[in-house]
């Protein structure tokens, strides 16, 4: 697939974006108004002599909201229809969206086209014909820089989706580490890996105790990007990277086992966003710490009731071995604070089923103890179009994770599971401004909600993390 800028219309095939009730429907004089009404995501291919027009319905103009999501959906529907009809080149003018919503609509259009083409198969079907299309964006010369940025974001989302969709037996922790390290090599990102022996020597017991349940050892991958060496501010991105999560001795139910390969979506999102930030040379300093591990059952696996000591010296009572993500994140946060000198902490993880039960599959959960940091995050959301709900918390919730036998316990009780999980991680931030993103409901879709989604991984978090770093790089 290619997405290019062109100053003229492709005579072979072009797409027309039509508002519901648009007079252009009648102008073709083919009686199309009886067949095509311009309803939202309605499509029709109209062949003429030597050319074809692909009509894409946008719905009522006054109802075109939320805008960026709608643009992505309309363009994804365009791409899907091109695939259905084996169209190899199609031009279109997206100025109807940029005039309505501003330059951000151009980025959304590129993402929609690319994600509408996305398919994942570990092995292609036999005799499956390869399909490719050149999507030509007319009169887009003014958006050349945005096209470059959008392509980078598109590549990052697809990278994250591919990682999360990869079968667990083909993505062990060290495999994931090598893939990410290779992915970051073409940009100015320094990568360092702490392997199992180093984790034990550093007494990162929270991470290695989860990982020692598997014959495939855990590791901590550190990525450093220094786009603003004159600044002492270093943003820390901590992404959960559990490549296989059985739940350990607190074994998951059978209906939850199908998703155990996708518990590393946070780490995948961080790696993709870091690459995009470095490729765009954003003036911001970022260090990512990605704890990569499996969570299995074996004679060396954690047991409910065990007490372990994290890298920062805090003791943890393990009451639920399926609450392992917060354990590995706690050591990664402590390492980032104490060894990497980060000044702000953002963790992202498929952390709790409770957040999906509360918000479903289109809204993720967020928590923060710093209003200024959260305001930066909200500005990023204006560009990414992703949806998060900030959850409140108080001292009563902090008390829920206090342990009688250790400093903290890894579950808080029968309620407020999403809040107490976040607060567990916060307790290792040592006073740094903290932002927590729980994408357990949005990182995977069994049945796509939006036209730009496909069954499986969504790439949740990539664009939001990128735009947060972009906002942080701007003078305020």
322's tokens: 């399926």
Most distant pair of Cα atoms in the chain: their distance? 80
The DSSP result for 260-326, as a single string, is GGGTTHHHHHHHHHHHHHHHTT-S-EEEEEEEEEEE--STTS--TT-EEE-TTS-EEE-S-TT--HH
Q: Are 335 and 238 in contact (CB under 8 A)?
A: no
> Residue 380 — left, alpha, or beta (φ > 0 → left; ψ -120 to 50 → alpha)?
alpha
The radius of gyration of the chain's CA atoms, rounded to the nearest angstrom, is 24
Whether the Cβ atoms of residue 204 and residue 289 lie closer than 8 Å to each other: no
CA 366 to chain centre: 14
Chain-centroid distance, C-alpha 77? 21
Q: Is 231 helix (H, G, I), strand (E, B) or coil?
A: coil
For the sheet with 134-138, list strands across it: 2-6, 134-138, 89-92, 13-18, 51-57, 43-48
Tell me the catalytic residues.
Answer: 252, 326
Q: Fill in the DSSP letter of residue 259.
A: G
Give CA–CA dist 406/319, Å, rounded. Answer: 11
Query: Which residues are within 8 A (CB) of 14 and not within 5 positions of it... i.e. 6 or more apart?
Result: 51, 53, 54, 90, 91, 92
Q: How far apart are CA 30 and CA 14, in angstroms?
A: 18
For residue 367, give every residue at least 6 positions away whose Cβ sits within 8 Å of its Cβ, in sequence order, or none. Answer: 390, 391, 393, 419, 422, 423, 426, 434, 435, 436, 438
Q: Which residue has the tokens 């003014």?
A: 142
Q: Which distant-in-sequence residues (6+ apart) come within 8 Å of 453 by Cβ?
A: 115, 445
Q: Residue 385 and residue 41: Cα distance in Å, rounded?
A: 19
Contact status, residue 283 vs residue 470, Cβ threshold 8 Å: no
């Amino acid at each position: 697939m290619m997405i290019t800028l062109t100053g003229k219309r492709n005579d072979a095939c072009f797409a027309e974006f039509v508002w519901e009730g648009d007079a252009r429907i009648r102008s073709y004089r083919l009686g199309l108004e009886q067949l095509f009404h311009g309803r939202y995501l309605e499509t029709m291919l109209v062949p003429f002599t030597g050319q074809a027009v692909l009509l894409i319905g946008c719905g009522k103009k006054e109802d075109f909201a939320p805008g960026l999501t709608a643009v992505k959906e309309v363009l994804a529907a365009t791409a899907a229809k091109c695939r259905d009809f084996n169209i190899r080149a199609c031009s279109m003018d997206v100025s109807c969206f940029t005039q309505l919503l501003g330059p951000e609509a151009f980025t959304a259009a590129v993402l929609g086209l690319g994600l509408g083409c996305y398919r994942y198969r570990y092995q292609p079907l036999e005799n499956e014909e390869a399909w490719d299309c050149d999507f030509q964006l007319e009169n887009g010369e003014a958006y050349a820089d945005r096209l470059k940025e959008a392509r980078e974001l598109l590549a990052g989302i697809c990278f994250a989706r591919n990682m999360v969709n990869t079968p667990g037996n083909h993505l062990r922790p060290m495999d994931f580490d090598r893939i990410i390290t290779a992915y970051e090599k073409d940009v100015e990102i320094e990568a360092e890996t702490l392997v199992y022996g180093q984790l034990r020597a550093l007494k990162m017991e929270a991470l290695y105790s989860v990982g020692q349940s598997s014959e495939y050892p855990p590791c901590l991958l550190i990525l450093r990007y220094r786009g603003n060496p004159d600044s002492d501010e270093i943003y820390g991105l901590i992404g959960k990277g559990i490549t296989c999560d059985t739940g350990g001795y607190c074994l998951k139910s059978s209906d939850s086992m199908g998703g155990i390969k996708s518990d590393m979506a946070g780490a995948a999102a961080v790696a993709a966003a870091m690459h995009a930030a470095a490729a765009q040379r954003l003036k911001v300093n970022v260090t990512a710490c990605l704890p990569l591990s499996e969570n299995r059952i074996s004679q060396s696996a954690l047991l409910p009731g065990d007490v372990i000591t994290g890298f920062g010296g805090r003791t943890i009572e393990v009451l639920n071995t399926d609450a392992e993500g917060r354990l590995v994140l706690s050591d990664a946060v402590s390492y980032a604070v104490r060894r990497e000198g980060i000044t702000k902490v953002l963790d992202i993880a498929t952390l709790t089923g409770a957040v999906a039960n509360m918000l479903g599959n289109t809204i993720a959960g967020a928590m923060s103890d710093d209003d200024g940091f959260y305001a930066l995050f909200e500005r990023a959301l204006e560009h990414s179009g992703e949806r998060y709900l900030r959850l409140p918390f108080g001292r009563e919730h902090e008390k829920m994770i206090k342990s009688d036998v250790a400093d903290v316990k890894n579950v808080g009780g029968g309620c407020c599971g999403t809040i107490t999980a976040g607060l567990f991680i916060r307790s290792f931030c040592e006073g740094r401004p903290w932002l927590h993103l729980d994408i357990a409901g949005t990182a995977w879709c069994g049945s796509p909600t939006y036209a730009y989604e496909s069954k499986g991984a969504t790439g949740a978090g990539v664009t939001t993390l990128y735009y947060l770093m972009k906002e942080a790089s701007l003078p305020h």
